[in-house]
């Protein structure tokens, strides 16, 4: 991903946590950054702290509004060429005592359905850009699930799979597809306690390592900091062998 000043970047869930951190990092590099989220007061505070940044109110769970939102954003920012699907929710679930359908539906809508719909709505515009990037945010838990949060982990595994297929289908276009898979990071994703949990990676350290990977590994498919390796490569999974097999398998299937 080109980190120079030529990008116009839309970040859903950009008002807090990793989303805000990335928004501010890209903004400092001179990119035009638009953050999107449900809480206008939160977005306004981020923009006030980062003059020149822009904000748009968006409830990603309102699937029917995503196509209209995409059309509006492209109209306001015709140079838009980067989408970072950061918005996400993570809630514990006790399936033994009984699943909560509202948690399941909200998690799937936010973490899975919304990125798919918003990406699909923006792809026609992105394919017309000289260079464009879709960055889907998954998790180390897409590969080694945390049983405490089963629906969250399932949605992240699904987005990982979808990102691989999307990347393959866009291989002959100007659109790059990246996957950002964080480890346990000091944010408030699961509550205030997480922001100070010593077991979690400090947010500033995570952001610094991510930005370094983006700057130094332009061909990376997955943006993986060292702290996520134990989750990503549990069981000695070999990513290079997987992608080699994936390319061979899909090429063979397409030839029949």
pLDDT, one tens digit for every residue, the chain (256 residues): 777 778 999 999 999 999 999 999 999 999 999 999 999 999 999 999 999 999 999 999 999 999 999 999 999 999 999 999 999 999 999 999 998 999 999 999 999 999 999 999 999 999 999 999 999 999 999 988 988 999 999 999 999 999 999 999 999 999 999 999 999 999 989 889 999 988 899 999 999 999 999 999 989 999 999 999 988 887 666 778 777 867 776 677 676 5
Tell me the pTM.
0.91
Query: Residue 153, exposed/middle/buried by CB under 10 A (0-12, 13-18, 19+)?
Result: buried
- CATH assignment at residue 31: 3.40.50.720
For residue 2, tell me if it sits in a domain.
Answer: no
- Residue 137, strand partner residues: 180
For residue 242, tell me if it sits in a domain.
Answer: yes
Q: Is 78 left (phi over 0), alpha (psi -120 to 50) or beta?
A: alpha
Spatial distance between the Cα atoms of 144 and 203, rounded to a whole number of angstroms: 21
**Is 229 assigned a catalytic role?**
no
- What pLDDT is recorded for position 235? 65
For residue 115, tell me if it sits in a domain.
Answer: yes
Task: Identify whether the C-beta of residue 38 lies closer than 8 Å to the C-beta of residue 144.
Answer: no
- What pLDDT is recorded for position 241? 78
Neighbours of 3 (CB within 10 A): 15
Range of the domain at 80: 8-254
For residue 42, tell me if it sits in a domain.
Answer: yes
Task: Identify whether the C-beta of residue 189 lies closer than 8 Å to the C-beta of residue 88.
Answer: yes
Spatial distance between the Cα atoms of 196 and 184, rounded to a whole number of angstroms: 12
- What pLDDT is recorded for position 251? 79
152, 184, 206, 243: the catalytic one is 152
Query: Total domain count for the chain?
Result: 1
What residue ranges in the chain does DSSP mark as E strands? 8-12, 32-37, 54-57, 82-85, 132-137, 175-180, 222-223
For residue 85, tell me if it sits in a domain.
Answer: yes
> β-strands 8-12, 82-85: how paired?
parallel
For residue 3, tell me if it sits in a domain.
Answer: no
For residue 1, tell me if it sits in a domain.
Answer: no
For residue 184, tell me if it sits in a domain.
Answer: yes
């Amino acid at each position: 991903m080109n980190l120079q000043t030529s990008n116009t970047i839309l970040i859903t869930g950009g008002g807090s946590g990793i989303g805000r951190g990335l928004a501010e990092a890209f903004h400092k590099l001179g990119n035009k950054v638009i953050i999107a989220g449900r809480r206008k007061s939160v977005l306004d505070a981020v923009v006030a702290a980062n003059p020149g940044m822009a904000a748009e109110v968006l409830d990603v769970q309102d699937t029917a509004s995503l196509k209209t939102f995409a059309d509006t954003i492209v109209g306001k920012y015709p140079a838009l060429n980067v989408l970072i699907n950061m918005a996400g929710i993570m809630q514990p679930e006790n399936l033994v005592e009984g699943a909560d359908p509202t948690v399941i539906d909200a998690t799937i809508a936010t973490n899975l359905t919304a990125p798919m719909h918003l990406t699909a709505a923006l792809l026609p515009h992105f394919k017309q850009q000289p260079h464009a990037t879709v960055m889907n945010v998954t998790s180390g838990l897409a590969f080694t699930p945390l049983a405490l949060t089963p629906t969250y982990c399932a949605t992240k595994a699904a987005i990982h799979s979808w990102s691989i297929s999307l990347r393959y289908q866009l291989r002959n276009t100007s659109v790059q597809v990246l996957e950002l898979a964080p480890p346990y990071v000091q944010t408030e994703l699961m509550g205030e306690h997480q922001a100070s949990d010593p077991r979690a990676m400090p947010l500033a350290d995570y952001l610094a390592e991510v930005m370094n990977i983006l700057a130094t590994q332009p061909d990376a498919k997955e943006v993986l900091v060292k702290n996520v390796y134990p989750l990503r490569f549990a069981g000695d999974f070999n990513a290079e062998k997987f992608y080699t097999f994936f390319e061979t398998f899909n090429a063979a299937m397409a030839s029949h």
